A = this chain, B = another copy of it.
Amino acid sequence: MEQDSRLGGGSSVEGGSPPAASGARRPGGRTAKVRRAVLDATQEALAASGFHTLNMDRIAASAGVGKTTVYRRWGSPVGLVADLLDDMAEQSLPAADTGGLAGDLRANAALVLGTLTDPRMGPVFRAVIAAAACDEECARALAGFYRTRLAEWAPVGERAVARGELPAGTDPLELLRAVSAPLYYRFAVTHEQPTPADAERAVAAALAAAAAGAFAPGGADAS
A153 within 8 A of B: no
Q: Is A56 an interface residue (CB 8 A)?
A: no
Q: Quick check: B205 and A214 within 8 Å, CB to CB?
A: yes
* B residues near A146, Cβ cutoff 8 Å: 189-190
Asked if A191 CB lies within 8 Å of chain B CBs, one says yes
Q: A191 contacts which chain B residues (CB < 8 A)?
A: 132, 139-140, 142-143
Judged by DSSP, the binding face of A is helix
Contact (Cβ within 8 A) B182 A201? no
Task: State the CA gap A143–B205 with chains docked (Å).
Answer: 23
Whether A174 is near chain B, meaning CB under 8 Å from some CB there, is yes
- Chain A residues engaging chain B, CB cutoff 8 angstroms: 50-52, 102, 105-106, 126-127, 129-130, 132-134, 139-140, 142-143, 146-147, 174, 177-178, 180-182, 184-186, 188-192, 200-201, 203-209, 211-215, 219-223
Q: A129-B130, A208-B220 are in contact. List 15 more A-B contacts (CB 8 A).
A: A50-B134, A52-B52, A102-B223, A106-B222, A126-B133, A129-B129, A129-B188, A130-B130, A133-B133, A146-B190, A181-B185, A204-B212, A205-B214, A206-B209, A208-B212
